[in-house]
Structure 1
Amino acid sequence: MARQEGDPPNSDQVVNLSYDFCGKTLEYFKLMLNRNSIDGNGMDVISNVHFRKDYNNAVWLPSQNQLALGDGDGKRFINLGRSIDVVAHEMAHGVTEYVNHLDYTRQSGALNEHFSDVIGTAVQQYVKGQTAQTADWLIGDEIVGSEFRGKALRSMKEPGTAYFGDRQVAHFSKYMDIPLSDDGGGVHYFSGIPNKAFFLAAMQLGTDPATLLWYTALHDRGTIRRDAKFVDLLKALLIAAEKLIRQGELPQSAISVVTSAFSEVGILLPVHA
């Protein structure tokens, strides 16, 4: 244990950054989403820094209830704990695990990744004092190294443009079933579709109101099941929007904003005869 809650700063800068970023993420959960930590019940957050050796990744470890942040190899990535959106992204995987445990494969896995990107960008904008209009909507731009051929891990504004060879897509017409051995059936590639929809909605509603809407929809377990599809997210969002409009949390335009955003990325509600 390098630093516990309330301890003074450590001599290790990465420890201090992770401490601060976890704290800011918990603050956002509490103030903006009325959620008490990752499990909703005030659980301690364990951040495992300097994870493995030259590890080019950051992960949520459900079996150990902790996030693990690699140092990177110094070439493609530098320490992944230096980016608050990456830290918040991994903590959001823990939230998803406790709320509805979306299967990490194909569309449900892409939704899992998508929700983490939503939280990641929302927390980053909150900490940096940005708005939907002033944010760059990049995920992980602060942890790319000198040999990384691009500007970030992902772009929510323009999926597929973050780096050379970026396979993210922004429209459902580009979705296809690919082998599960390839990124779990494309969980990172196809999360660009709902990511783009969130960006479009946030530009109209504001990032924090849009995040509250997405967070509320995630709790609709009757609609967002473990094997949920993109259209299920749309259904849950429309149900959640009606609830939040009644409560005065969202404007009346929220339903049309969400419908339009998902239509723009090719996700439509089925038409019944």
Structure 2
Amino acid sequence: MSAHTPRYSFLPPWVLKKRLLHEGDHEETQLCYQHIQQLLSYSYLPETDSAPHGYASLPEAGCHTPAHRRVMHLKNLTIVPDLYYREDRKADNHQLRMAVRQDADTDNMFEYLDIIYKFFDGVFDYKSFNNSNATISAMTHYGRGYCNAFWNGAHLVFGAGDTGMSESPLFLSFAQLDIATHEFSHAVIDHLSPLTYSSQSGALNESVCDVFTIMLGHYRSRHASHQGDWHIGRTLFSEQSGIKALRSLSSPGNAYNHPVLGKDKQVAHMRDYIELPDNPENDNGGVHCYSGIPNHAFYHFASALGGYSWEVAGQIWFDTLRRGNLPPECDFLTFARETMAVADENYDEEVTAVLMSAWHAVGLEP
């Protein structure tokens, strides 16, 4: 794997930093926070040795079999064993599945990958993460008490959360459909229209992943935009935490307000945008914070259009990536202008006007 290949962390660093400040030097939380810093700094560690902070990198996925999906149970390891837990193979028109033992996270993830694949194929005519039917590889039970998920350029990787590991657990398993969709979407962006994972381009990267995640949820429930759920991480938190979601596209900054994790730091409007240092401590310039701005624009657009979010609004977002005009360091205004160009080329003036209003609602003038 190239040292320049970015990795994408589902959790923003401030979530675990807040927890560390509240709980003190909790080992698992400290390890996970340090690993998020490594992910954000694109730090690649040796693949065969233990990492200095307890979490090692993972090898690249090979597409040596015609498998559609593979899921590995890591048994709380941070290096990869040589046996896949469940694997899809197409040979002689039969689907073969391997199962070592029952495990809810691994079995669920096996099904989630199929749901995600069929969504991108059916809605956008895009097959797997590279549009060439590459095998989708996922790994569950990464690390001990690991509270995060990430795409490392080859695998979707999920921790099992801290339930049973902490006296006051906050996180359930990260092996959930919306989180898997978000991380898979990073892989799609990497292959379709790479966006540098820092500052506004990184926030766009995060936002597009959130948008695809929301659309898949609406698609499965067959809810129109005004009926659908606009939250990410609805089932991530323990019941005793009282937290209802990690992010909100309908109301960025109001997903949670918790005594340990603090208040949701996302913003919804350019008036609240402050240039942050481009380093892991500051979330690579606020990629998880400022993603709320384009997120909220999509919410306004899809809601004002009516109908299903994955149809006109979703197609414009996907086609903006697919046409290949976005620079890697794309800013919000450039992205907004590209969506306007796609809308103008493919839809009527009413759609274009609604889209313009959506960007105006978040303080952008494309």
Same topology, TM > 0.5: yes
Show structure 1 runs of 4+ deviating over 3 A: 146-149
Q: Equivalent of 2:116, from 25, 42, 45?
A: 25
The residue that corresponds to 2:327 in the other structure is 225
Deviations 1:138-166 (A, max 9, x none): 10111112454521110000000111111
Q: Equivalent of 1:99, from 163, 180, 192?
A: 192
Deviation at 1:186, TM superposition (A): 0.5
Residue pair 2:214, 2:229 contacting (<8 A) in 1 also: no
**Correspondence 1:78 to 2:78:** no
> Mind listing any 5+ residue stretches in structure 2 that lack a counterpart?
1-83, 89-94, 164-168, 258-262
Identity between Structure 1 and Structure 2 (%): 29
Deviation at 1:71, TM superposition (A): 0.4
Equivalent AA in structure 2 for residue 212 of structure 1: Q
Deviation at 1:204, TM superposition (A): 2.7
The residue that corresponds to 2:264 in the other structure is 166
Distance 2:138 2:123 in 1: 22
The structure with the largest helix share of the pair is 1
Q: Equivalent of 2:339, from 226, 237, 244?
A: 237
3-state DSSP of counterpart to 2:175: helix
**Correspondence 1:110 to 2:203:** yes
In terms of Rg, which structure is larger?
A: 2
**Correspondence 1:215 to 2:323:** no
Distance 2:331 2:350 in 1: 24
**Correspondence 1:152 to 2:235:** no
Distance 1:255 1:53 in 2: 49
Superposed, 1:54-65 pairs within 5 Å as: 54-62=145-153, 65=154
3-state DSSP of counterpart to 2:310: helix
Equivalent AA in structure 2 for residue 255 of structure 1: T
3-state DSSP of counterpart to 1:208: coil
Task: Using structure 1 for the length normalisation, give the TM-score.
Answer: 0.91
Deviations 1:20-64 (A, max 9, x none): 1111111110110010110111000001111111111111111xx
3-state DSSP of counterpart to 1:38: coil
Deviations 1:101-126 (A, max 9, x none): 21100100000000000111111121
Equivalent AA in structure 2 for residue 80 of structure 1: F
Deviation at 1:70, TM superposition (A): 0.8
Q: Equivalent of 1:197, from 297, 300, 308?
A: 297
> Mind listing any 5+ residue stretches in structure 1 that lack a counterpart?
246-250
Residue pair 1:14, 1:49 contacting (<8 A) in 2 also: yes
Superposed CA RMSD in Å reads 1.5
Deviates more, 1:134-143 or 1:123-132: 123-132
Residue pair 1:220, 1:236 contacting (<8 A) in 2 also: no
Equivalent AA in structure 2 for residue 4 of structure 1: E
The residue that corresponds to 2:78 in the other structure is none
Distance 2:98 2:85 in 1: 10
Aligned length: 260
Equivalent AA in structure 2 for residue 109 of structure 1: G
**Correspondence 1:254 to 2:351:** yes
Distance 2:155 2:327 in 1: 24
Residue pair 2:85, 2:98 contacting (<8 A) in 1 also: no
3-state DSSP of counterpart to 1:68: strand
Distance 2:314 2:103 in 1: 33
Residue pair 2:182, 2:209 contacting (<8 A) in 1 also: yes
